Structure 1
Amino acid sequence: MENKNSFEGLKRLVEGEVKTDEDTLTKFGLDASIFEVRPSAVVFPKIARDVEASVRFVDENKKRGATEMSITARSAGSDMSGGPLSESLILSCTEHLNRIKEITNDFVTLEPGVFYRDLEKKLDQRNLLFPPYPASKDYCAIGGMVSNNSGGEKTLIYGKTADYVKEIKIVLADGKEHTVKPISRDELQNTIEGGGFLGNAYRKLKDLLEKNYDTVKNAKPNVSKNSAGYALWDIWDREIFNPQKLFVGSQGTLGIITEATLSLVPKKKYSRLVVVFAKDLNSVPAIVKSLLPFKPQSIESYDDRTLGLAMKFLPSLIKMMKGNIITLGLKFIPELMMILRGGFPKMVMLVELSSDDKEDLKNSMNSIEETLKQFPVEVRLIKSKKEEEKYWTIRRQSFALLHSKVKGKYAAAFVDDIIVRPEYMPEFLPKVNAVLEKYGSKLIYTIAGHPGDGNFHIIPLIDLSDPEMPDIITNSIKEIYTLVKEYDGSISGEHNDGLVRTPFLDMMYSEEIIKLFKQVKDIFDPDNIFNPGKKVDGDWQYSLRHLRKE
């Protein structure tokens, strides 16, 4: 591995800072994952030319013998897969590459370091929405959302980030910024004939997709969303070439994004929440199916363990909501009474409806209440935003609550993003529970997610200092991913691969598809300078060696 002095020359090539001090390296050695990988240096580019210079610097040094040198882009560091961690050079975007360049009624053009929360404020002023935000929307940034192909509570009706990326600017392995967007068959041919790095890469990519057309199309996971592997099946339909679909979700392994143009949608004037307390999991698929005709913009859920956690740490949850502690505490009396009467529900579903017509929204709410009478559920029609807040806080803040409240244990994301078709939930989730419950008190866990998609997030609490933990993590991953394969699902609906899932992609995809992923990586990154070990060539032993110690 290179040392700090290896990057002294980079300081003369960029306008931004290059730092190698202990505090910086410690900070950038962590994200929201279970891993810790200490970098050698961090560059903070001010302009796109800094990114170009950084890529050329790494490539030239690698060709001169610095074989371990690489460059890994990072935005807010909220990634739970270890995606932005590296032993070499980190390129951090949020400090300077954080400009919103243009907003219209249809799109926004911005840099990767823009925090979603700052974009949201601007869009609220125009009554617009960029819908595929994750639960970490208060601290994630656009670069990570694009690089991971993020989704979240509104994905059910609006789709994921890939559905909104109109165009990106990206620095490729030639050290130059390129514009990537959908192009026609004729435009593709013109780009190929123009040669250069991009033209040659497009030629090789098109040839690969043509040669393996049916194999690639048939490999697309049979679920509504997927962030595992490269989305080869979405690039070429023999009419339109969509190279941006390859780069979205690629975790910076093929190049470094410097700008994105994203589609926007009008925000509905009114929204209301229906809360459904399901007494068993068996009825959940039928409940979801009965709700879909009402076109909910989201169906979110959390399990009995999550609700129990919220009740146990109620004062801390109330503090997260910000307000009068007594008034807010009184809002939880209905839940406490329900639990005393009949125990914890197996699943709590948050069904969000929206409309530009207030009367239409009211009628839909009443119709849903009537429709759900056929199921063993309790239904609550929420009347105000203040009342809604407690449910959304439980759903969005359960991960943070786990992080902060259970002493001696760490909220660890390692089977955190599994997805199967919703109709399989009653069979699938109990089997997942059975795997985790084998480890007793060594894994304290909750399940939250998106039942409309069949996508669930499991965040166990573990003691990272326990010498048995590496084996427990490994075994539970293998057992649960075997179940995912059995039910024709995906090991990542939203959170992507990183250090935690790349080594297990061969449990989901065929050997042939894994080889195609590697060939695509070689086309765009022949010297393996961009975020190595993610998406292809994963090494679980390397990941285990870099588990956090505390």
Structure 2
Amino acid sequence: MNPLIKALSRILPERQVITDPLRRLAYGTDASFYRLTPEVVAVVESEEEVQAVLQVARAEGHSVTFRAAGTSLSGQAISDSVLVLIGEDLASCEIGPDAATVRVGPGMIGGEVNFRLAPFGRKIGPDPASINACKIGGIAANNASGMCCGTAQNSYRTLAGLRVVLADGAVLDTEDAYSVTRFRQSHAKLVAELQRLGDATRADQALAARIRHKFRIKNTTGYSLNALVDYEDPIDILAHLMIGSEGTLGFISRITYRTVVDDPFKASALVFFPTIEAACQAVIRLKPQPVAAVELLDRPALRSVEDKAGLPPVIRTLGNDAAALLIEVRAGDASVLQQHIDAALAALLGIDTVETVVFSTDAATCEMYWKVRKGTFPSVGAMRRTGTTVIIEDVAFPIESLAAATLDLQALLRQHGYHEAIIFGHALEGNLHFVFTQDFNEASEVARYSRFMDDICKLVIEKYDGSLKAEHGTGRNMAPFVELEWGAQAAGLMRQIKDLFDPDRLLNPGVIINDDPQAHLEHLKPMPAAEDIVDRCIECGFCEPLCPSHRLTLSPRQRIVSWRELSRRSAAGEDAADVEAAFAYYGLDTCAGCGLCSTACPVGIDTGELTRRLRGRGLGSASRQVGQWTVGHFDKMATASRIGLKLGHAVSGVVGEGLISRLSGGTWKRGMPQAGKRPAPRSGHGDPVVYFPACGGRIFGANSPDEATLPEVVMDLLVRAGYAPILPEGFDKLCCGQMLASKGMAEEAEEMANAVAEALLKAADDGHGGAYPVIMDASTCSVRMQKHLAGRIPLYDFHEFAHDALLPRLTIIRKPGPIALHINCSVRRVATDAKLRRLLEACVTEIVEPAGVTCCGFGGDRGFVVPELNAHALRKVHDALPANCCEGVSSNRTCEIGLTAETGRPYRSIAYLLEECSRCEAMAY
């Protein structure tokens, strides 16, 4: 065994030392356009494990790179040595008194921290576009900012304290007086040198002025030299040098932020201007006003999104020189909000606009504006030629030069042939992003990119004295140009800092400090064609927090990365056996196919579609025959399943659930439902409604023998509310095909769906050219058939129909609760979760919706076949459920089986709760 891996295996559990080629490639890929494959991936779950890994790496002569979420764009989170992934045990969050501060571990997702702070009307200052995916460790290490935080609310400015592990393994907690005292003694030389560097820098008036000038606008090029002029205490200097150091000086194991107000009242305006100059003149006027954000979009950026629904039609008529500003104002109450709106409108008076400026306070309109703004980057990525990569650079100019700089940047992009490029950015800070596509497969294209980068540096630095990296971090991308931007003296100071903290170059070598002038042209990531449905993927990682298999096996991004590599090897005639064998389990078997990744993906990719397609290709003839038999004999398959359930309960009654679960490899679940039964028609006098009981509720019955089945409960509710339920002819022999679709049997699944559609159309025909409403009681199946029958008949998931049509007809007596709510992936995907919540709120006074739980991972039959996926997906639910929460509800039968098994609490369809709370004889709780 490799000595490095052997040594790591002695200090870390086996599951935390990753050596197989597939996962080293997949886990080693980040959002940048660079690629290095780590020799080993080490997952750390504690500060002590970080110290141990650093000790091993030093002893074995290997470097260490720390990785949080891997959403960074400049190549700062990749390694060909030891890649250290931050584990979930480092995802701590402690809210201080009055939420004025929050102490957070590096593994916490930024959006999750804001979610926890929201009830207090607070948030953290940094607001990067990736906040729902990136982690605190990366936010702090890159000094990430965003649309609203500017330079006043970034990590550097809102830092209250931190814990850091240095390259030698020493730990400093700046909030602990004892730790500080010990550190001053144990690291007296380092502390004294920081004191000397700070004193010398502040005494050098020219250098100090240069540093202050450079940080007047956004700047993440190089180290945070402003720490040397802003602070005198060497401990404060050290803490602030860590911000933006990109893991090259130490590992931030905890950080405390001073939180900022999250104003509840907001208004936005999308303002069009005939020219860039007019838009930038408006920015200068808006700068001193109480505006939260001003986003600039040039004409190509507007053109890339002009067909989005809801945008003003005038956007399509704008001239080639036009631009737009998306302006947002915020306040603590409505009257102050209006004052801010009035101030912004007054600032725009006299500036030439295409239309009258109007602010909207409608949440949906404002959300649409911001979705459009955030959609500009992926729009370029989605349209790029297969095999090319999408690059997003960010620079900053003094705000007074913004108009001229934007025009120069447009001209430079055209000069180098990047005609598809768009420009947008955080205008109040003079921060511009430009997005273009690049082919790195040919030497001539790499040379074109090199010439372009040289010219960009000249434009930004020599003409405008701006920042080459405003908020994306230096990484490898701008490391060769740090001295060009800062000058020899300041760059030399940065080298001194690196040598002081990391003399052996143990931490993230090649990042920020790099003497190779061609470093930005090396280790370029290949983007080979793989599959049409995923070729648009830009590997940003936004999908990962929603994926139930992330950190168990692979995330959607990692599946695509893996399949791209397999496709590349296939095209090149290279052996792929080492990766292909692992991909069968890591990539395909453990994918829930839930599609939640598409809701976070900037270009809407559903990696589950790739999984289903590849599963289908891998099916043998025997599997195909079983699928084809199921199409025509589903009733027999359902009967066999019910018999199996009865036998299972009989055996478990003798040997116990634990033993039968072990013997079945986890297929038999704790709290397994009773066998279902064929629903009997119910007579009702009232409005006809077609009810199709999904096969999940017909096969898997109630949680206990004394409960009614789901179809019985639904029909009781319909009759109670004055509806006459109609069961489609032959319904007990029908299935929508979702079970076969998830296995990759697309044709067979389509045949089954067609049969259901035919039965529903026939049952829903009112004889007068109209159609009765149709209800299904399993969200996954409902969504499938809604797509299948779109535009033909109205089809509702049960919770939708119950919210719209049953609640107004029923008398509800609410229960006190608490009751847990699980919103399954299908409901999330089609965004009907608000109705499900309101339906539950009508029935119960206290609701628990566990944070961090998305798809339950049951994935049709995945919970039976790979039960570890279900357990992993629900790993966070246990701590989130209070002891007095004794039951839960959802809207999909198999999800409820998995939730019941994992939590030990019975989960049922929300129909059960609605029926219970609407009984005429219900007693007051």
> Is the shorter-chain TM-score for this pair beyond 0.5, marking a shared fold?
yes
> SS where residue 42 of structure 2 aligns?
strand
Q: Which amino acid aligns with 1:472?
A: R
The equivalent of 2:495 in structure 1 is: 518
Q: Which amino acid aligns with 2:467?
A: S
Distance in 1 (CA, whole Å) between partners of 2:475 and 2:248 is 10
Aligned ranges for residues 32-431 of structure 1 at < 5 Å?
32-62=31-61, 69-104=62-97, 105-156=99-150, 158-180=152-174, 194-197=184-187, 199-213=188-202, 214=204, 216-220=207-211, 221=214, 223-237=216-230, 239-241=232-234, 242=236, 243-311=238-306, 314=308, 329=309, 331-332=310-311, 334=312, 336-340=313-317, 342-343=318-319, 346-377=322-353, 378=355, 379-408=357-386, 410-413=388-391, 416-431=393-408
Which range is displaced more, 236-245 or 477-486? 236-245
Verify the 8 A CA contact 1:28 1:85 in the aligned structure 2.
no
Verify the 8 A CA contact 2:223 2:241 in the aligned structure 1.
yes
CA offsets, 1:382-438, max 9 Å, x none? 231100122211222322333233332545336x11111111012211111121111
Distance in 2 (CA, whole Å) between partners of 1:100 and 1:275 is 36
CA offsets, 1:156-177, max 9 Å, x none? 3843221111111111122132
Distance in 2 (CA, whole Å) between partners of 1:173 and 1:338 is 53
Cα deviation for residue 191 of structure 1 reads 6.7
Structure number with the bigger relative contact order (C-alpha 8 A, sep ≥ 6) is 1
Cα deviation for residue 205 of structure 1 reads 1.7
RMSD (CA atoms): 2.4
The equivalent of 2:535 in structure 1 is: none
**TM-score (normalizing by structure 1):** 0.88
**TM-score (normalizing by structure 2):** 0.53
> SS where residue 381 of structure 1 aligns?
coil
Distance in 2 (CA, whole Å) between partners of 1:499 and 1:472 is 18
Verify the 8 A CA contact 1:420 1:489 in the aligned structure 2.
yes
Structure 1 residues 545 and 225: alpha-carbon distance in aligned structure 2, compared to 1, 3 A threshold: closer
Structure 1 residues 182 and 301: alpha-carbon distance in aligned structure 2, compared to 1, 3 A threshold: farther
CA offsets, 1:284-334, max 9 Å, x none? 34312322343111112222112211135x4xxxxxxxxxxxxxx3x23x2
Verify the 8 A CA contact 2:397 2:464 in the aligned structure 1.
yes
Distance in 2 (CA, whole Å) between partners of 1:61 and 1:396 is 44
Structure 1 residues 181 and 399: alpha-carbon distance in aligned structure 2, compared to 1, 3 A threshold: farther
Distance in 2 (CA, whole Å) between partners of 1:542 and 1:253 is 17
Distance in 1 (CA, whole Å) between partners of 2:133 and 2:273 is 31
Cα deviation for residue 181 of structure 1 reads 6.0
Structure 1 residues 176 and 234: alpha-carbon distance in aligned structure 2, compared to 1, 3 A threshold: closer
> SS where residue 374 of structure 1 aligns?
coil
Verify the 8 A CA contact 1:100 1:109 in the aligned structure 2.
yes
Q: Which amino acid aligns with 2:58?
A: D
> SS where residue 412 of structure 1 aligns?
strand
The equivalent of 1:319 in structure 2 is: none
The equivalent of 2:692 in structure 1 is: none
Verify the 8 A CA contact 1:110 1:261 in the aligned structure 2.
yes
The answer on 1:527 being equivalent to 2:522 is no
Distance in 1 (CA, whole Å) between partners of 2:476 and 2:196 is 30
Which range is displaced more, 482-491 or 276-285? 276-285
Verify the 8 A CA contact 2:125 2:149 in the aligned structure 1.
yes
Cα deviation for residue 465 of structure 1 reads 2.0
The equivalent of 2:755 in structure 1 is: none
Verify the 8 A CA contact 1:76 1:94 in the aligned structure 2.
no
> SS where residue 256 of structure 1 aligns?
strand
Distance in 2 (CA, whole Å) between partners of 1:420 and 1:287 is 16
Structure 1 residues 339 and 370: alpha-carbon distance in aligned structure 2, compared to 1, 3 A threshold: farther
Cα deviation for residue 13 of structure 1 reads 1.0
Cα deviation for residue 94 of structure 1 reads 4.6
Q: Which amino acid aligns with 1:14?
A: L
Verify the 8 A CA contact 2:295 2:427 in the aligned structure 1.
yes
Verify the 8 A CA contact 1:136 1:396 in the aligned structure 2.
no
Structure 1 residues 540 and 361: alpha-carbon distance in aligned structure 2, compared to 1, 3 A threshold: same
The equivalent of 2:579 in structure 1 is: none
> SS where residue 498 of structure 1 aligns?
coil
Distance in 1 (CA, whole Å) between partners of 2:352 and 2:75 is 40
Cα deviation for residue 345 of structure 1 reads 6.5
| Larger proportion of strand | 1
Cα deviation for residue 271 of structure 1 reads 1.2
Verify the 8 A CA contact 1:419 1:493 in the aligned structure 2.
yes
Which range is displaced more, 22-31 or 484-493? 22-31
Distance in 2 (CA, whole Å) between partners of 1:371 and 1:542 is 45
1:477 to 429, 440, 453: 453
Verify the 8 A CA contact 1:277 1:345 in the aligned structure 2.
no
> SS where residue 125 of structure 2 aligns?
coil
Verify the 8 A CA contact 1:151 1:160 in the aligned structure 2.
yes
Distance in 2 (CA, whole Å) between partners of 1:223 and 1:451 is 14
> SS where residue 141 of structure 2 aligns?
helix
Q: Percent identity?
A: 24
Verify the 8 A CA contact 2:290 2:340 in the aligned structure 1.
no
